[in-house]
Amino acid sequence: MASKVRSGLKLLIIAVLFLIITTAAAYVITKNILVDDPEQQAKKQYITYPLGDYLTNLADRGYVKISIVCLLSDKKTEKEMQQKEYEIKDGVYAILRSKTYDSLKDSKGMEVLKKELKDMINKVVDNGKVEEVYFTSIIVN
């Protein structure tokens, strides 16, 4: 009887040790390999760039008035956006004028518009990247 208790106790100790070791290994792997270094993320500073206000007719009816701010990857991108601002603004107007009232009336349409604007600007900008496009005000009528 005593030997059964001892073997059960040994088995329990081995199971607990195995659990502790696997938990520690999972923590180390997650902390060091899978997750980005928080210090590097803190050092990465994004630049906001106001692209301006736009008011234009839609393709079918009504109009859209929108204010756009871009989140840029670095200062080089900001300088290039300043140099190519007229090309970027022309592209923004072209995209906005191609939209219909129904395509912009809901949040899905706005997300599609954000993606189209981001893709267009990233094609125009050679160095750097637009990380995100934000709308600070939107009127669709």
Query: What is the per-residue pLDDT for 37?
Result: 57
CB 97 within 8 A of CB 59: yes
The number of domains in the chain is 2
Q: What domain range is 6 assigned to? A: 2-41
CATH of the domain at 108: 3.30.479.30
- pLDDT (average), residues 60-64: 91
The reported pLDDT for the residue numbered 128 is 83
Same domain, 13 and 67: no
Beta strands in 1-141 (DSSP E): 47-57, 63-72, 130-140
| pLDDT band of 43, cuts 50, 70, 90 | low
Task: Tell me the whole-structure pTM to 2 decimals.
Answer: 0.68
